[in-house]
Amino acid sequence: MGRQLRTTLPTLSRHLKPRWPNLKNVRGRDKDHKERTKQNFDHHNSSRDLKELNPGDNIIVKLDWEKRGIPGVVIRKCTQPRSYMIRTKYGLFRRNRRHLFLANKVRFAANAFDEDFDPIDIDIRVNNHQDVNPPDPPPDIPQLPVRVEQPVLRRSGRTIVKPARYRD
């Protein structure tokens, strides 16, 4: 390892003086080791650089509520790394590049989505002033006291839920 064993036998004095290892060799071995470790990690975890998408590219995207991927079109690249704004028949979404798969240009035409839905124009108006005449409060309706049953708790604080067959 680099450390001399402790012994009661006589030893040369030059063996008792500490020596620094060659710094170039240590840094070179360390760099090689880091490169090999990175290559192995990337190989095992399928790490790869994905091709950049351009606006207008046809893609397939998997949405949470859909069983299969649905077609979409790339609108633009977002400012965040690897993020894209896409348009599907459900609207606009921002998705990471790894969730977007390039589609065959034969299967999906660029205008195929115009038939599915109409473009939506949203008019947003912000009202910053207070109304001079606030609306009248609704008339008081007498409410009956509602009896809320407190849940039965276990010693741990967890609620006890009866099985469905024992509920009334």
pLDDT in tens, 91-149: 999 999 888 988 875 454 444 454 455 555 555 555 555 555 556 666 666 666 766 67
* pTM for the predicted model, two decimal places: 0.41
Q: Is the pLDDT of residue 6 over 60?
A: yes
Neighbours of 37 (CB within 10 A): 10
- Give the Cα-Cα-Cα angle 101, 71, 55 (nearest 5 degrees): 70
Question: Class of the 52-117 domain?
Answer: mainly beta
Q: Domains of the chain: which residue ranges? A: 52-117
- The more confident residue out of 49 and 108 is 49
The answer to whether 88 and 109 are in contact (CB under 8 A) is: no
Q: Where are the beta strands (DSSP E) in 29-134?
A: 58-61, 70-77, 83-88, 91-96, 100-102
Task: Return mean pLDDT, the chain.
Answer: 78
Total Cβ atoms within 10 A of residue 88: 21
